[in-house]
Amino acid sequence: MGPALINDASAPGSRPHLTQETGDALQLGAGARQAMDSTRRQKEPAVCPTDDEAKFPRAETQKQNKRSLDYLWRSGVAGGFAGCEAKTIVAPLDRVKILFQAHNPQFVKYTGSWFGVAAAIKDIYRQDGTMGLYRGHSATLLRIFPYAGIKFLAYEQIRAIIIHSKDHETPFRRLISGSLAGVTSVFFTYPLEVIRVRLAFETKKDSRSSLTRICRQIYREHRHSPVGPPEIRSASVAAAPGAAMEAALPRNGLVNFYRGFSATLLGMVPYAGMSFLTHDTAGDLLRHPKVAKWTTLPKPDNVPAGKAAPLRSWAELAAGGVAGLVSQTASYPLEVIRRRMQVGGAVGDRRRLRISETAAIIMRERGLRGFFVGLTIGYVKVIPMTATAFYTYERAKMWLGI
Protein backbone atom coordinates (compact mmCIF):
# COMPACT_ATOMS: atom_id res chain seq x y z
CA MET A 1 0.00 0.00 0.00
CA GLY A 2 2.81 2.35 0.86
CA PRO A 3 4.76 1.94 -2.42
CA ALA A 4 1.61 2.36 -4.43
CA LEU A 5 0.97 5.72 -2.81
CA ILE A 6 4.49 6.82 -3.52
CA ASN A 7 4.32 5.72 -7.11
CA ASP A 8 1.00 7.47 -7.65
CA ALA A 9 2.30 10.69 -6.18
CA SER A 10 5.43 10.53 -8.22
CA ALA A 11 3.68 9.81 -11.48
CA PRO A 12 3.83 12.57 -14.10
CA GLY A 13 0.77 14.83 -14.04
CA SER A 14 -0.57 13.43 -10.79
CA ARG A 15 -1.45 15.53 -7.67
CA PRO A 16 0.26 14.70 -4.38
CA HIS A 17 -2.00 13.16 -1.77
CA LEU A 18 -1.70 15.01 1.58
CA THR A 19 -2.26 13.21 4.82
CA GLN A 20 -4.31 14.76 7.70
CA GLU A 21 -1.14 15.35 9.70
CA THR A 22 0.48 17.25 6.83
CA GLY A 23 -2.57 19.54 6.39
CA ASP A 24 -2.65 20.39 10.10
CA ALA A 25 1.02 21.31 10.03
CA LEU A 26 0.54 23.64 7.09
CA GLN A 27 -2.39 25.36 8.82
CA LEU A 28 -0.34 25.86 11.97
CA GLY A 29 2.49 27.35 9.89
CA ALA A 30 0.14 29.85 8.21
CA GLY A 31 -1.28 30.88 11.61
CA ALA A 32 2.20 31.46 12.99
CA ARG A 33 3.14 33.61 9.99
CA GLN A 34 -0.01 35.74 10.45
CA ALA A 35 0.76 36.22 14.15
CA MET A 36 4.34 37.27 13.32
CA ASP A 37 3.10 39.72 10.68
CA SER A 38 0.61 41.22 13.14
CA THR A 39 3.32 41.63 15.81
CA ARG A 40 5.67 43.26 13.30
CA ARG A 41 2.98 45.73 12.24
CA GLN A 42 2.43 46.73 15.88
CA LYS A 43 6.16 47.27 16.54
CA GLU A 44 7.11 49.01 13.33
CA PRO A 45 5.60 52.49 12.65
CA ALA A 46 3.78 52.83 9.38
CA VAL A 47 5.24 54.98 6.65
CA CYS A 48 1.90 56.79 6.49
CA PRO A 49 -0.04 56.52 9.78
CA THR A 50 -3.36 56.63 7.96
CA ASP A 51 -2.53 53.34 6.18
CA ASP A 52 -2.60 51.35 9.40
CA GLU A 53 -5.40 53.45 10.88
CA ALA A 54 -7.61 52.44 7.97
CA LYS A 55 -7.19 48.77 8.95
CA PHE A 56 -6.63 49.10 12.68
CA PRO A 57 -8.47 52.18 14.06
CA ARG A 58 -6.65 54.16 16.76
CA ALA A 59 -7.86 53.67 20.32
CA GLU A 60 -8.23 57.43 20.86
CA THR A 61 -10.72 58.06 18.06
CA GLN A 62 -13.59 58.52 20.51
CA LYS A 63 -14.90 62.06 20.18
CA GLN A 64 -14.51 64.20 23.28
CA ASN A 65 -17.49 65.90 24.92
CA LYS A 66 -16.46 69.56 25.21
CA ARG A 67 -19.42 70.36 27.45
CA SER A 68 -18.49 67.86 30.12
CA LEU A 69 -17.32 69.09 33.52
CA ASP A 70 -14.01 67.27 33.03
CA TYR A 71 -13.27 69.14 29.80
CA LEU A 72 -14.34 72.47 31.29
CA TRP A 73 -11.97 72.41 34.25
CA ARG A 74 -9.08 71.06 32.20
CA SER A 75 -9.40 73.75 29.52
CA GLY A 76 -9.84 76.43 32.20
CA VAL A 77 -6.71 75.38 34.09
CA ALA A 78 -4.71 75.16 30.86
CA GLY A 79 -5.80 78.67 29.87
CA GLY A 80 -5.11 80.17 33.30
CA PHE A 81 -1.65 78.66 33.47
CA ALA A 82 -0.87 79.89 29.96
CA GLY A 83 -1.94 83.43 30.83
CA CYS A 84 0.15 83.56 34.03
CA GLU A 85 3.29 82.33 32.28
CA ALA A 86 2.86 84.79 29.41
CA LYS A 87 2.28 87.78 31.71
CA THR A 88 5.24 86.95 33.93
CA ILE A 89 7.62 86.97 30.97
CA VAL A 90 6.60 90.46 29.85
CA ALA A 91 5.76 92.07 33.22
CA PRO A 92 8.58 94.71 33.12
CA LEU A 93 7.61 95.80 29.60
CA ASP A 94 3.96 95.86 30.62
CA ARG A 95 4.64 98.31 33.43
CA VAL A 96 6.60 100.66 31.17
CA LYS A 97 3.85 100.50 28.54
CA ILE A 98 1.22 101.46 31.11
CA LEU A 99 3.30 104.42 32.24
CA PHE A 100 3.65 105.58 28.61
CA GLN A 101 -0.02 105.06 27.72
CA ALA A 102 -1.32 106.80 30.82
CA HIS A 103 0.94 109.80 30.17
CA ASN A 104 2.71 109.57 33.54
CA PRO A 105 4.46 112.95 34.07
CA GLN A 106 7.69 111.34 35.25
CA PHE A 107 8.02 109.17 32.13
CA VAL A 108 6.69 111.41 29.35
CA LYS A 109 10.27 112.30 28.40
CA TYR A 110 11.01 108.67 27.57
CA THR A 111 8.19 108.09 25.08
CA GLY A 112 8.69 107.85 21.34
CA SER A 113 11.91 105.83 20.99
CA TRP A 114 13.49 102.47 21.69
CA PHE A 115 16.11 104.16 23.82
CA GLY A 116 13.29 105.63 25.88
CA VAL A 117 12.01 102.16 26.74
CA ALA A 118 15.44 101.06 27.93
CA ALA A 119 15.93 104.33 29.83
CA ALA A 120 12.55 103.96 31.55
CA ILE A 121 13.35 100.41 32.64
CA LYS A 122 16.73 101.57 33.92
CA ASP A 123 15.12 104.44 35.81
CA ILE A 124 12.58 102.14 37.48
CA TYR A 125 15.30 99.64 38.39
CA ARG A 126 17.53 102.35 39.85
CA GLN A 127 14.71 103.77 41.94
CA ASP A 128 12.95 100.60 43.11
CA GLY A 129 15.10 97.64 42.12
CA THR A 130 13.81 94.48 40.48
CA MET A 131 10.55 94.61 42.43
CA GLY A 132 9.79 97.96 40.84
CA LEU A 133 9.65 96.32 37.43
CA TYR A 134 7.04 93.90 38.77
CA ARG A 135 4.96 96.46 40.65
CA GLY A 136 1.32 95.45 40.38
CA HIS A 137 2.26 91.98 39.10
CA SER A 138 0.60 90.19 42.03
CA ALA A 139 -2.67 91.85 41.07
CA THR A 140 -1.91 90.88 37.47
CA LEU A 141 -1.64 87.20 38.36
CA LEU A 142 -4.80 87.32 40.46
CA ARG A 143 -6.60 88.76 37.44
CA ILE A 144 -4.91 86.93 34.59
CA PHE A 145 -5.51 83.36 35.80
CA PRO A 146 -9.31 83.67 35.79
CA TYR A 147 -9.20 86.01 32.78
CA ALA A 148 -7.15 83.70 30.57
CA GLY A 149 -8.90 80.62 31.91
CA ILE A 150 -12.35 82.03 31.12
CA LYS A 151 -11.19 83.36 27.74
CA PHE A 152 -9.81 80.07 26.44
CA LEU A 153 -12.64 78.06 28.01
CA ALA A 154 -15.26 80.38 26.55
CA TYR A 155 -13.61 80.25 23.13
CA GLU A 156 -13.73 76.45 23.09
CA GLN A 157 -17.40 76.44 24.11
CA ILE A 158 -18.56 79.29 21.85
CA ARG A 159 -16.58 77.91 18.93
CA ALA A 160 -18.24 74.50 19.37
CA ILE A 161 -21.66 76.18 19.21
CA ILE A 162 -21.01 78.53 16.29
CA ILE A 163 -18.80 76.17 14.29
CA HIS A 164 -20.59 72.82 14.26
CA SER A 165 -18.25 71.15 11.78
CA LYS A 166 -15.48 71.85 9.28
CA ASP A 167 -18.11 72.87 6.74
CA HIS A 168 -19.17 75.78 9.00
CA GLU A 169 -15.62 76.95 9.78
CA THR A 170 -15.19 80.39 8.22
CA PRO A 171 -12.99 83.39 9.15
CA PHE A 172 -16.06 85.35 10.24
CA ARG A 173 -17.22 82.61 12.60
CA ARG A 174 -13.74 82.37 14.07
CA LEU A 175 -13.66 86.14 14.53
CA ILE A 176 -17.04 86.19 16.29
CA SER A 177 -16.09 83.25 18.52
CA GLY A 178 -12.90 84.95 19.65
CA SER A 179 -14.61 88.31 20.20
CA LEU A 180 -17.37 86.82 22.35
CA ALA A 181 -14.81 84.86 24.37
CA GLY A 182 -12.83 88.03 25.05
CA VAL A 183 -15.92 89.99 26.08
CA THR A 184 -17.01 87.18 28.42
CA SER A 185 -13.66 86.98 30.19
CA VAL A 186 -13.17 90.72 30.57
CA PHE A 187 -16.63 91.21 32.07
CA PHE A 188 -15.84 88.93 35.00
CA THR A 189 -12.30 90.16 35.67
CA TYR A 190 -12.31 93.87 34.79
CA PRO A 191 -12.24 95.26 38.38
CA LEU A 192 -8.94 93.46 38.99
CA GLU A 193 -7.56 95.03 35.81
CA VAL A 194 -8.42 98.53 37.07
CA ILE A 195 -6.68 97.86 40.39
CA ARG A 196 -3.62 96.45 38.61
CA VAL A 197 -3.28 99.46 36.31
CA ARG A 198 -3.63 101.87 39.23
CA LEU A 199 -0.89 100.05 41.16
CA ALA A 200 1.40 100.05 38.12
CA PHE A 201 0.74 103.76 37.50
CA GLU A 202 2.09 104.89 40.88
CA THR A 203 5.75 105.90 40.78
CA LYS A 204 6.42 108.02 43.87
CA LYS A 205 8.05 105.85 46.50
CA ASP A 206 6.94 107.93 49.47
CA SER A 207 3.27 108.10 48.49
CA ARG A 208 2.47 104.54 47.41
CA SER A 209 -0.88 103.13 48.34
CA SER A 210 -1.71 99.72 49.68
CA LEU A 211 -4.15 97.47 47.86
CA THR A 212 -6.86 98.36 50.39
CA ARG A 213 -6.23 102.08 49.99
CA ILE A 214 -6.31 101.81 46.20
CA CYS A 215 -9.67 100.03 46.34
CA ARG A 216 -11.06 102.61 48.76
CA GLN A 217 -9.81 105.46 46.58
CA ILE A 218 -11.36 104.01 43.42
CA TYR A 219 -14.64 103.41 45.22
CA ARG A 220 -14.90 107.03 46.39
CA GLU A 221 -14.02 108.73 43.11
CA HIS A 222 -16.85 110.69 41.55
CA ARG A 223 -18.03 110.94 37.96
CA HIS A 224 -17.80 114.36 36.31
CA SER A 225 -21.14 115.96 35.50
CA PRO A 226 -21.55 118.58 32.77
CA VAL A 227 -22.04 122.09 34.06
CA GLY A 228 -24.21 124.86 32.71
CA PRO A 229 -27.85 125.35 31.81
CA PRO A 230 -30.06 122.26 31.40
CA GLU A 231 -30.07 122.51 27.60
CA ILE A 232 -26.25 122.47 27.54
CA ARG A 233 -26.10 119.50 29.92
CA SER A 234 -28.60 117.62 27.78
CA ALA A 235 -26.62 118.35 24.62
CA SER A 236 -23.37 117.17 26.17
CA VAL A 237 -25.00 113.93 27.30
CA ALA A 238 -26.45 113.25 23.85
CA ALA A 239 -23.22 114.16 22.04
CA ALA A 240 -21.28 111.01 22.84
CA PRO A 241 -22.25 107.41 22.07
CA GLY A 242 -23.42 105.68 25.22
CA ALA A 243 -23.36 108.93 27.18
CA ALA A 244 -27.04 108.73 28.13
CA MET A 245 -26.48 105.35 29.71
CA GLU A 246 -23.39 106.54 31.56
CA ALA A 247 -25.26 109.61 32.79
CA ALA A 248 -27.66 107.32 34.62
CA LEU A 249 -24.85 105.50 36.43
CA PRO A 250 -24.09 106.24 40.09
CA ARG A 251 -21.57 108.99 40.70
CA ASN A 252 -19.38 106.69 42.80
CA GLY A 253 -19.27 103.20 44.23
CA LEU A 254 -18.66 99.82 42.62
CA VAL A 255 -19.26 101.26 39.17
CA ASN A 256 -15.86 102.97 39.47
CA PHE A 257 -14.20 99.56 39.21
CA TYR A 258 -15.56 99.40 35.66
CA ARG A 259 -13.93 102.67 34.66
CA GLY A 260 -13.13 102.44 30.94
CA PHE A 261 -15.17 99.25 30.57
CA SER A 262 -17.06 100.50 27.51
CA ALA A 263 -13.79 101.26 25.74
CA THR A 264 -12.50 97.85 26.78
CA LEU A 265 -15.49 96.13 25.22
CA LEU A 266 -15.01 98.06 21.99
CA GLY A 267 -11.32 97.18 21.96
CA MET A 268 -11.84 93.54 22.92
CA VAL A 269 -13.90 92.79 19.83
CA PRO A 270 -11.01 93.37 17.39
CA TYR A 271 -8.29 92.24 19.82
CA ALA A 272 -9.59 88.83 20.93
CA GLY A 273 -11.34 88.22 17.63
CA MET A 274 -8.28 88.91 15.50
CA SER A 275 -6.03 87.05 17.94
CA PHE A 276 -7.93 83.75 17.72
CA LEU A 277 -8.69 84.19 14.02
CA THR A 278 -5.05 84.83 13.12
CA HIS A 279 -3.74 82.02 15.31
CA ASP A 280 -6.14 79.44 13.90
CA THR A 281 -5.54 80.59 10.32
CA ALA A 282 -1.76 80.53 10.78
CA GLY A 283 -2.09 77.06 12.29
CA ASP A 284 -4.01 75.85 9.24
CA LEU A 285 -1.34 77.21 6.92
CA LEU A 286 1.46 75.61 8.93
CA ARG A 287 -0.37 72.26 8.85
CA HIS A 288 -0.71 72.31 5.06
CA PRO A 289 0.37 68.94 3.59
CA LYS A 290 3.22 70.57 1.67
CA VAL A 291 4.93 71.80 4.85
CA ALA A 292 3.42 69.54 7.53
CA LYS A 293 6.46 67.26 7.77
CA TRP A 294 8.56 70.23 8.90
CA THR A 295 6.01 71.98 11.09
CA THR A 296 3.98 69.28 12.87
CA LEU A 297 4.64 66.59 15.46
CA PRO A 298 3.24 63.05 15.51
CA LYS A 299 -0.13 62.80 17.22
CA PRO A 300 0.11 61.66 20.86
CA ASP A 301 -1.61 58.43 21.86
CA ASN A 302 -4.24 60.27 23.91
CA VAL A 303 -5.22 62.78 21.22
CA PRO A 304 -9.02 63.22 20.91
CA ALA A 305 -10.74 62.38 17.65
CA GLY A 306 -10.75 65.14 15.05
CA LYS A 307 -7.96 67.14 16.70
CA ALA A 308 -5.27 68.38 14.35
CA ALA A 309 -1.66 67.32 14.75
CA PRO A 310 0.27 69.55 17.22
CA LEU A 311 2.67 72.08 15.78
CA ARG A 312 6.37 72.03 16.52
CA SER A 313 7.54 74.52 19.13
CA TRP A 314 8.88 77.09 16.66
CA ALA A 315 5.76 76.85 14.50
CA GLU A 316 3.38 77.27 17.45
CA LEU A 317 5.37 80.25 18.74
CA ALA A 318 5.37 81.81 15.27
CA ALA A 319 1.58 81.41 14.92
CA GLY A 320 1.03 82.99 18.32
CA GLY A 321 3.44 85.85 17.63
CA VAL A 322 1.74 86.78 14.37
CA ALA A 323 -1.64 86.62 16.12
CA GLY A 324 -0.43 89.06 18.77
CA LEU A 325 1.00 91.44 16.19
CA VAL A 326 -2.20 91.63 14.15
CA SER A 327 -4.53 91.90 17.16
CA GLN A 328 -2.44 94.60 18.85
CA THR A 329 -2.42 96.77 15.74
CA ALA A 330 -6.19 96.46 15.29
CA SER A 331 -7.11 97.42 18.85
CA TYR A 332 -4.34 99.74 20.10
CA PRO A 333 -6.11 103.14 19.83
CA LEU A 334 -8.98 101.91 22.00
CA GLU A 335 -6.47 100.43 24.44
CA VAL A 336 -4.84 103.86 24.88
CA ILE A 337 -8.25 105.41 25.58
CA ARG A 338 -9.01 102.66 28.09
CA ARG A 339 -5.75 103.20 30.00
CA ARG A 340 -6.36 106.94 30.26
CA MET A 341 -9.87 106.32 31.55
CA GLN A 342 -8.65 103.79 34.12
CA VAL A 343 -6.14 106.18 35.71
CA GLY A 344 -8.36 109.25 35.32
CA GLY A 345 -9.09 109.32 39.04
CA ALA A 346 -5.40 109.26 39.96
CA VAL A 347 -4.49 112.47 38.09
CA GLY A 348 -6.03 115.89 37.52
CA ASP A 349 -9.31 116.64 39.27
CA ARG A 350 -10.11 112.94 39.83
CA ARG A 351 -13.22 113.01 37.66
CA ARG A 352 -14.43 110.11 35.55
CA LEU A 353 -14.29 110.79 31.82
CA ARG A 354 -16.28 109.27 28.99
CA ILE A 355 -14.78 107.73 25.85
CA SER A 356 -15.38 110.82 23.72
CA GLU A 357 -13.92 113.14 26.36
CA THR A 358 -10.83 110.99 26.79
CA ALA A 359 -10.32 110.74 23.03
CA ALA A 360 -10.66 114.52 22.70
CA ILE A 361 -8.02 115.09 25.39
CA ILE A 362 -5.58 112.70 23.67
CA MET A 363 -6.17 114.35 20.31
CA ARG A 364 -5.66 117.81 21.78
CA GLU A 365 -2.46 116.84 23.58
CA ARG A 366 -0.65 114.85 20.88
CA GLY A 367 -2.83 114.52 17.81
CA LEU A 368 -3.30 111.19 16.04
CA ARG A 369 0.11 110.01 17.23
CA GLY A 370 -1.25 110.11 20.77
CA PHE A 371 -3.44 107.10 20.03
CA PHE A 372 -0.34 105.05 19.21
CA VAL A 373 1.90 106.10 22.09
CA GLY A 374 3.75 103.03 23.34
CA LEU A 375 2.87 100.96 20.28
CA THR A 376 6.53 100.10 19.75
CA ILE A 377 6.86 98.66 23.22
CA GLY A 378 3.43 97.14 22.70
CA TYR A 379 4.81 95.13 19.79
CA VAL A 380 7.87 94.11 21.79
CA LYS A 381 5.59 92.97 24.59
CA VAL A 382 2.69 91.42 22.73
CA ILE A 383 4.62 89.14 20.37
CA PRO A 384 6.36 87.06 23.06
CA MET A 385 3.33 87.27 25.36
CA THR A 386 0.78 85.99 22.83
CA ALA A 387 3.22 83.42 21.46
CA THR A 388 3.89 82.10 24.97
CA ALA A 389 0.18 82.06 25.84
CA PHE A 390 -0.88 80.02 22.80
CA TYR A 391 2.15 77.72 23.03
CA THR A 392 1.59 77.00 26.73
CA TYR A 393 -2.15 76.52 26.24
CA GLU A 394 -1.73 74.02 23.41
CA ARG A 395 0.95 72.08 25.28
CA ALA A 396 -1.06 72.11 28.51
CA LYS A 397 -4.04 70.70 26.62
CA MET A 398 -1.80 67.85 25.44
CA TRP A 399 -0.57 67.19 28.98
CA LEU A 400 -4.12 67.20 30.32
CA GLY A 401 -5.37 64.95 27.52
CA ILE A 402 -7.81 67.31 25.83
Give whichever of 95-99, 156-160, 201-205, 337-341 has the largest mean pLDDT: 156-160
Which of 352 and 20 is assigned the larger pLDDT? 352
User: Within 13 A of 149's CA, how many CA atoms are on the CB side?
Assistant: 18
Predicted pLDDT of residue 148: 95
Predicted pLDDT of residue 83: 95
Predicted pLDDT of residue 295: 95
Instruction: Give per-residue pLDDT as tens, 224-268.
Output: 544 444 443 433 434 444 444 444 444 567 888 887 788 778 888
Predicted pLDDT of residue 170: 92
Whole-angstrom CA distances from 152 to 131, 145, 270, 307 are 30, 11, 16, 16
Superfamily for domain range 69-206+260-299+306-400: Mitochondrial carrier domain (1.50.40.10)
Instruction: Give per-residue pLDDT as tens, 102-137.
Output: 777 777 777 766 677 788 888 888 888 888 888 878
Q: b/e map of 349-379 (b: 16 or more CB within 10 Å)?
A: eeebbbbebbbebbeeeeeeebbebbbbbbe
Average pLDDT, the chain: 77
Examine the pLDDT at 45 and tell me if it is beyond 70.
no
Predicted pLDDT of residue 174: 95
Specify whether the CB–CB gap between 162 and 173 falls below 8 A: yes
What average pLDDT does this structure show over 337-354? 67
Predicted pLDDT of residue 376: 79
Examine the pLDDT at 205 and tell me if it is beyond 70.
no
Q: What's the N-to-C CA distance of the chain in angstroms?
A: 73
Amino acid at 391: Y
Examine the pLDDT at 69 and tell me if it is beyond 60.
yes
DSSP 254: G
Tell me the C-alpha distance between 362 and 201, whole Å: 18
In this prediction, residue 49 has a pLDDT band, given cuts at 50, 70 and 90, of very low
Of the ranges 126-130, 191-195, 278-282, 348-352, which one carries the lowest mean pLDDT score?
Answer: 348-352
Predicted pLDDT of residue 290: 94
In this prediction, residue 17 has a pLDDT band, given cuts at 50, 70 and 90, of low
DSSP 402: -
Long-range CB contacts (< 8 A, 24+ apart) of 134-139?
134/91, 134/92, 134/95, 135/95, 135/199, 135/200, 135/202, 136/95, 136/196, 136/197, 136/199, 136/200, 137/87, 137/88, 137/91, 139/192, 139/195, 139/196, 139/199, 139/211
Give whichever of 137-151, 181-195, 384-398 has the largest mean pLDDT: 384-398
Specify whether the CB–CB gap between 337 and 260 falls below 8 A: yes
Q: Where are the domains of the chain?
A: 69-206+260-299+306-400
Predicted pLDDT of residue 318: 96
Predicted pLDDT of residue 247: 44
Which of 337 and 351 is assigned the larger pLDDT? 337
DSSP per position, 90-138: THHHHHHHHHHHTT-TTTGGGTTSHHHHHHHHHHHHHHH-HHHHTTTHH
User: Within 13 A of 53's CA, how many CA atoms are on the CB side?
Assistant: 11
